[in-house]
Amino acid sequence: MRGASTTIALPRGLEATFAKPQTLLLLAVLGGSLVLGLTVRVWELGSTNLWADEILTEYRAEAPLLESLDNIIHTIDQTPFYFLMLRVFPVNNELLLRLPSALLGVAGILAVIIVVNQLWRDRYLALWAGVWLALNPYHIWLSRTARAYALIFLLSLLMSFYFLMLCRDPSRKRWLGFTIISMVAYVTHYSLLAIPFTQLLFLVLHWRKDLIQRWSLAQVVAVLPMFLWGVLVLLNLSPREPQWGAPPALDDLGLTFWNLTAGYDGGLYWYTLPGLTVAIVGVFLALYHQPNGLSLGYWGLLFFVPVILVFGMSIAFVDVYVDRYFMALLPGLVIMIAAGWSQASRSAQNLAMCGVVLTGAVTFVNTLEHNTNQREDWESATRFVEQHYAAQDFLVVDRKVTHTAFERYFDSADSLAVWQLSETEAPAPECEGTCRYWVIYRHPYEDIHRLGAMPEFDPLEANPVSVTAIWLQERRPYVEEYRVFAGLAVVLVTIPPIV
């Protein structure tokens, strides 16, 4: 019948966005962005070895509950929710262990589309933000990691959305949802504590006196589980060696922006330029036009203020400046850039979206082709030891997680005696005659920007930045041979008997 419209049944929240027949093309873009986002997050997901942090995730998901909680508590810088959540999923190989994060990454894409549309009532802008996130290299690779980062993004986005909706209409249902999501967020990762700081700053700057008191009460309730967890950590506090290198410099701020928008793996490549250009222009457009008062009002604060504060704190006090910890701030950057481009013409927006797609697609394919997503190659390292070790040899590791990772990929039925250098009170093993030590030396420098392969390193470099480096330097004359693999090295130290 002429003039009749076709209604498309969609989940609540998307119905207002895609209810008209002329939106079929946008629906195709929506479906395509979700399929594409899923594809790049699960393609060959189990093809690389777990790295040390993922090894800990696997242990915490499979160990008896009390042992798992004890391990998290003594790590100090971790909170329990993500690891407890994984206990309800099968996680007995690399693919299954990483799959929940990959699916949460796709959920983040859908959530961005819904949130942007609810705030702006602009379906094209919502899809633009969704495509931007679907092919964002930073979000892709952290979604492919068996850690909480994809969940952090989702919780940060939902906390921010509920907060902004409360600023418009502080209903009881929204207060309840905001409090519950905040509670889950705080026991997921410490980085999410940047969100309430940003919210309080926003309320003060806009002097929303009517909301500050109720918001503060909600925060007191939401932080209770986190407070109890903090008490447990303090009661079991034990000293740990520093894990990071030198504090950040000014150019690290630029590299962080580059990494979070176009992906950074150590060099400037042509395929990162379109995405990086789109991001820079989008920020400037947002700052200049301030669309709907939200770019600078909240999303700009969410990204820029915590980054600058963490940068300053890392220089003056404790170095905690690592790009992957900024996942909680990524929603602010994504939405600010998308809002900025909404001020440009439709043809300019389409061109910018093509640039984003080009950068994300080429970066992903190039990373897989060159295997630069392999952070630690445990299979090659353990195979080298298996082929050369002899009875009575010793394995030297810096800490427990290195031993756990080595054992996971060590296929031989024989076992090595282990000498753990730190986080233990066990004495050094006794040795008679010639002593052979297989030193498992994980990369001593934490590159604060790279998410995948670390730069090459020399295990015999005379710069003791770790307990393993110090141990090796003291026995440098006895080094017989060594091999360097992705993210780690194996050094054979042979000490003759004392005559």
Q: What is the pLDDT of residues 264-287, one digit of tens each?
A: 988 888 999 999 999 999 999 988
pLDDT confidence tier of residue 36, bands split at 50, 70 and 90: very high
pLDDT higher than 90, residue 99: yes
pLDDT confidence tier of residue 1, bands split at 50, 70 and 90: very low
Taking the CA of residue 294 as centre, how many other CA atoms within 13 Å lie in the half-sphere pointing to its CB? Answer: 24
Q: For the residues 337-342, what does the mean pLDDT come to?
A: 90
- In the structure encoding, which two tokens stand for residue 89, read together? 């999923």
User: Is the Cβ–Cβ distance between 51 and 487 less than 8 Å?
Assistant: yes
| Lowest-confidence pick of 3-7, 157-161, 197-201, 235-239 | 3-7
Residue 2 has a pLDDT of 41
Count of residues in the chain: 499
For 141-161, letters b (16+ CB in 10 Å) and e give bbbbbbbbbbbbbbbbbbbbb
In tens, the pLDDT along 148-202 reads: 999 999 999 999 999 999 998 899 999 999 999 999 999 999 999 999 999 999 9
**SS3 call for 63:** coil
Residue 17 has a pLDDT of 47
Percent of the chain with pLDDT over 90: 68
pLDDT confidence tier of residue 362, bands split at 50, 70 and 90: very high
pLDDT confidence tier of residue 293, bands split at 50, 70 and 90: low
Q: For the residues 128-157, what does the mean pLDDT come to?
A: 96
- In the structure encoding, which two tokens stand for residue 32, read together? 């395509």
Residue 8 has a pLDDT of 41
Give the Å distances, CA to CA, from 463 to 21, 265, 484, 486.
66, 24, 17, 20
pLDDT higher than 90, residue 122: no
Give the Å distances, CA to CA, from 316 to 249, 325, 403.
12, 18, 34
Residue 358 has a pLDDT of 93
DSSP letters, 188-226, are: T-GGGGHHHHHHHHHHHHTT-HHHHHHHHHHHHHHTHHH
Residue 445 has a pLDDT of 83
Residue 426 has a pLDDT of 79
Taking the CA of residue 215 as centre, how many other CA atoms within 13 Å lie in the half-sphere pointing to its CB? Answer: 25
Distance CA 39, CA 44 (A): 9
User: Which residue type sits at 432?
Assistant: E
Residue 432 has a pLDDT of 79
In tens, the pLDDT along 396-449 reads: 999 999 999 999 999 876 678 899 998 887 777 878 788 999 999 999 888 899
The model's pTM is 0.92
Q: Which helix (H) or strand (E) holds 449?
A: none
Q: Which residues, including other chains, have CB under 8 Å from residue 318's CB and lie 6 or more apart?
A: none
Residue 7 has a pLDDT of 42
pLDDT higher than 50, residue 105: yes
pLDDT confidence tier of residue 4, bands split at 50, 70 and 90: very low
pLDDT higher than 60, residue 353: yes
pLDDT confidence tier of residue 76, bands split at 50, 70 and 90: confident
For 325-360, letters b (16+ CB in 10 Å) and e give bbbbbbbbbbbbbbbbbbbbeeeebeebbebbbbbb
Residue 272 has a pLDDT of 93
Residue 311 has a pLDDT of 95
Q: What is the strand order of the sheet 435-442 is part of?
A: 417-420, 394-397, 435-442, 488-495, 479-485
Give the Å distances, CA to CA, from 269 to 120, 276, 286.
35, 11, 26
Residue 268 has a pLDDT of 84
